[in-house]
Amino acid sequence: DTEVTQTPKHLVMGMTNKKSLKCEQHMGHRAMYWYKQKAKKPPELMFVYSYEKLSINESVPSRFSPECPNSSLLNLHLHALQPEDSALYLCASSPPHWGIEAFFGQGTRLTVV
Amino acid sequence: GQQVMQIPQYQHVQEGEDFTTYCNSSTTLSNIQWYKQRPGGHPVFLIQLVKSGEVKKQKRLTFQFGEAKKNSSLHITATQTTDVGTYFCAGTGGGNKLTFGTGTQLKVEL
């Protein structure tokens, strides 16, 4: 299994809603990532988990809250988002250190209304 | 912080023409990776370069890593419509932080 599975594929939420994005991989990768991608822009790193511990937070607003319950799962909890947070949210995984192929999920296309 | 720029931003070619995208980092890179993202899709890993001056080929694609490990290029020979997409370089200065380049969007016309 060489897939990273993200759910849901599409999400529309209001600014007062709470929602969660989910990511799952069964490749035994011990590093997992959240990226945000706006239209016609490159992916921007948000968070990195290494061995289930948060190792990098790229100064992301607290309305985004990551969670890594175990080595196969990664969640991104969303609360009180703004319309400008609308984007494609990508999850990726790799062995613990960059330098080896990273696998990206298909992403969750988020619209905040 | 580390910045990775790519040129050109867009490229339209006729099928059969060659295509090159250039990637330049503001800092020395430990390695560089290339990804392809089809319209509406997600980034897909193409290759990784690690050594100074390294050249790798994958069928019609040729990848180079500069001697100073601050620049890289991707050349596609005789483009096909299946090559359509955005090509990103992505580099690490070390550790788990991968910084993506600004990307080059390739369109191929028949």
What local confidence, expressed as pLDDT, does residue A101 receive? 83
What pLDDT is attached to residue B94? 67
Average pLDDT, chain B: 95
Is the predicted pLDDT of residue A97 greater than 70, yes or no? no
pLDDT in tens, B27-50: 999 999 999 999 999 999 999 999
Residue A37 C-alpha, separation from nearest chain B C-alpha, in angstroms: 10
Q: How confident is the model at residue B93 (pLDDT cuts 50, 70, 90)?
A: confident
Instruction: Pick from A33, A49, A97, A98 the residue to mutate for testing the B interface (most B CBs within 10 Å).
Output: A98
> Can you point out the beta strands (E) in chain A?
4-7, 10-13, 18-25, 31-37, 44-50, 53-57, 64-70, 73-79, 87-94, 103-104, 108-112
What is the model's pLDDT at position A98? 59
Q: How many Å lie between the alpha carbon of A108 and the closest alpha carbon of chain B?
A: 10
B95 in Cβ contact with A98 (< 8 Å): yes
User: Which of B87, B78, B54 lies closest to B68 in space, CA to CA?
Assistant: B54
Mean pLDDT of B76-88: 98
**Smallest CA–CA separation between A22 and chain B, in Å?**
16
Chain A residues lying within 8 Å of B41, measured CB to CB: 106
What does the pLDDT read at residue A23? 98
A59 neighbors A47 (Cβ within 8 angstroms): no
